[in-house]
Amino acid sequence: MLAGTPFAGDAVSRTVAPLFTHREIAANTVLFLEGETGGSFALLAAGRLRAFRQLAGGQELTVFWLQPGDWFGFLPLLDGGPFPVSVASVEASRAYMLRRDDFQRHLQSHPELCSHLLAHLAKRFRTCLDQLGTLGRPGVLPRLAAAISSLVPPDHRGRIDIELPMSQVELARTIGVAPENLSRAMSRLARDGVVRRLGHRHLAVLDAARLRELAHGDSPMHDDRQ
């Protein structure tokens, strides 16, 4: 059950798995609030969750979305500090929970876990930095292009079909733009032959190289600030 977590693989996974407990989560349930303590780590087995931060003006900024196989609560698990983001369920979900006290006792007798933890902490940190880079782009089109291109393998240059991890409204909230502006930017990408809509949350990226150029502002199209 630990696939996709810092504990997945070989004997490490087999020794940690018994420490997890099962939890069913109703839709629209807040699991953790930013600033709370408790030191619980969770692996999402089914459903979908949203990690977000509350801004000064009362708005919520989505930091990342969690789908089956994703995990959260890593920092509180390690240092016992507060949760850096709030996490809430978007739909009915199921998770496996690991308490910090149980994990700390296990770590003392299995120090080899440390290398796995450091590798996954670095991966999550890079994801957050990528999110900050997307939010700092100068217009709607570059932000949208960056969000879509993050779903395409780095070395891919031709056509590829992808599934967005969220609805268009949720995507707009994630990259900090108005839904109507995102819709216009998506239509422009389609008109210019960069993407094609295939259905709900499904896109065909027709020109991955062009998409990356737009994401980095290497095109006159980035002047469209809608």
119, 55 Cβ separation under 8 angstroms: no
Provide the angle, in degrees to the nearest 10, between the axes of the packed helices 140-149 and 179-191.
Answer: 70
DSSP 27: T
pLDDT of residue 168: 83
- Spans in the chain with pLDDT lower than 50: 220-226
Spatial CB neighbours of 165, under 8 Å, sequence gap ≥ 6: 65, 67, 151, 201
Q: What is the mean pLDDT of the chain?
A: 79
pLDDT of residue 226: 42
Does 138-223 carry CATH code 3.40.50.300? no
pLDDT of residue 187: 93
Neighbours of 107 (CB within 10 A): 17
| Distance, CA of 133 to CA of 151 (rounded, Å) | 15
Q: Considering only CA atoms, which of 100, 210, 206, 120 is closest in space to residue 162?
A: 206
| Distance, CA of 200 to CA of 167 (rounded, Å) | 8
CATH C-level class of 10-134: mainly beta
| 3-class state of residue 102 by DSSP | helix
The residue extents of the domains of the chain are: 10-134, 138-223
Query: Helices (H) and strands (E) in the chain — how many of each?
Result: 8, 11
| Distance, CA of 128 to CA of 36 (rounded, Å) | 20
pTM of the model: 0.57
* pLDDT one-digit tens code per residue, 9-35: 555 566 677 888 889 999 999 998 988
Report percent pLDDT > 70 for the chain.
Answer: 76
Question: Which amino acid is located at 189 in the chain?
Answer: L
* pLDDT one-digit tens code per residue, 104-121: 887 777 776 666 666 656
